[in-house]
Amino acid sequence: MKIDMPREWLKSSKLDLENIKYILEAEHLTSIVAFHAQQSIEKSFKAVIEHQNKKIPKQHDLLKLKSIIADVFTVGDDDILDSLNALYLESRYPGA
């Protein structure tokens, strides 16, 4: 049986969103909320890339991933994606 990879990416994206629901009100976990937000968007973009039968790059940059699917998917606010890119890095590395 073939695995439906776009669906698997979206399932994983949904888990990130569910994690956010649990920790959103905990102010000391703001960086973790940002991390899961970035991850959810990244996985959603990768689901679209996979659905288009394109090679998924091994990277986390939301703007670069968005550019791969720009012909079929529009995100109106690059500033938010850019901010999430920065927050993703900060949340991954202590002291950043």
For the segment 39-65, what is each residue's pLDDT rounded down to a tens digit? 999 999 999 999 999 999 999 999 999
Cite the DSSP H helix spans in 1-96.
5-23, 30-51, 62-68, 78-92
Helices 5-23 and 30-51, axial angle in degrees (round to 10): 170
Range of the domain at 30: 5-92
Answer yes or no: are the C-beta atoms of 16 and 37 closer than 8 Å: yes
Q: At 10, which CATH number? A: 1.20.120.330
In 3-state terms, what secondary structure has residue 33? Answer: helix
Q: What is the pTM of this model?
A: 0.89
Say if residue 95's pLDDT is above 80.
Answer: no
Domain count, the chain: 1
